Amino acid sequence: MTKKTPGYWVLNVVSILLALIFLGPILWALAVSFQREGKPITSVVDWFTPPYTLENYPKIIMNSSVPTWLINSLIIAVIVTALTVIFSAMAAYALAKLKFKGSNAFFMYFLIGILVPGEATIVPLFITVNSMHMINTYAGMILPSIAGSMNLIIMITFFRNLPDELLEAAKIDGAGEVRIFFQIALPLSKTIIATVCIFAFVGSWNNYLWPLLCAMSENLFTLPIGIPTFAGTYSVDYVQPLTACMVASLPMIIMYIIFERQIVAGITSGAVKG
């Protein structure tokens, strides 16, 4: 049995403390969501003491726009993730394995794109989308989010590490580039695809600035836009706003619990590939 060093215990204690720090606001919001509206609060302890109630959740689901915003967020995040993976994978494979004039220039172009903050392109993006009459539409919310330099660079780096001998052997057997891409390259890149899926989904789910500018009607709001609007109607009581926040957080919490191994493996793979 390996002897536990002092560093091992220090690392575990620090990890537990950090976990408690990050879990603290979630546990507080969860406790508040089970409190009755108008309950007098004189100390922090009162947020965690009975009486409790479950009526806040049906009220939020039945009598607010939170479910609509939740569905909008899910639809947009799922479509953005799928399109990001498809287009990033095809572009990355072409830049990594298909040698053509200007491929290195394209790679540098996308690499430089990482240095440009999204806020710097928001005005021309709005003008372009508005000229295409896609403001306040799902298409306008989705299409600008699928072309991210970071996801493309991650996939290019991965495809460059695929052995050329494997692809050449497939060509000798008569496989074309399309068949090689779908039957060899993609099956070998499941881990990196998981990484891109995580980045794309979380990025779309948490996106605030572009949906704020693009969504003009409340029925098209996503959760990052709708929740602050909803919370702004409650100046004192935290119960309903935090219940709405918990409803909004449930899909991400459930997704993490189900896909914890894939998420950790994907992030680790994305960190060490290069």
Q: What is the pLDDT of residue 234?
A: 59
* DSSP string of 82-108, one letter each residue: HHHHHHHHHHHHHHHHS--TTHHHHHH
Whose tokens are 């726009």? That residue is 65
- Walk me through the domains of the chain, giving residue ranges and CATH numbers: 63-272 (1.10.3720.10)
Q: What is the pLDDT of residue 136?
A: 93
* pLDDT per residue rounded down to tens, the chain (274 residues): 567 788 888 888 999 999 889 888 888 888 999 988 878 878 888 888 888 888 889 988 888 888 999 999 999 999 999 999 999 999 999 988 887 888 888 888 888 888 888 888 899 999 999 999 999 999 999 999 888 788 888 888 889 888 888 888 888 888 888 888 888 888 888 888 888 888 899 889 989 999 999 999 989 999 999 888 877 665 567 888 888 888 888 888 887 787 777 666 655 654 444 4
What is the rounded (10 degree) CA torsion for 41, 46, 49, 53?
Answer: 30
Q: What is the pLDDT of residue 72?
A: 94
Smallest CA-to-CA distance from 236 within 84, 38, 17 is with: 38
Backbone phi, then psi, for 153, in 5-degree steps?
A: -65, -40
Say which DSSP state 182 is in: I
CA distance 195 to 191: 6
Q: What is the pLDDT of residue 248?
A: 85
Neighbours of 27 (CB within 10 A): 11
SS3 of residue 232 by DSSP: coil
The residue type at 80? V
Task: Evaluate the omega torsion of the peptide bond into residue 163 and state whether it is cis, within 30 degrees of 0.
Answer: no
CA distance 201 to 131: 27
pTM, to two decimals: 0.83
Q: Percent of the chain beyond pLDDT 90?
A: 26
Q: What is the pLDDT of residue 222?
A: 93
Write the secondary structure of 253-271 as one string of H (helix), E (strand) and C (coil): HHHHHHCHHHHHHHHHHHH
Whose tokens are 């991400």? That residue is 252
Q: What is the pLDDT of residue 235?
A: 57
* DSSP string of 142-158, one letter each residue: HGGGS--HHHHHHHHHH
Q: What angle do CA 30, 36, 41 make, to 5 degrees?
A: 85
The residue type at 129? V
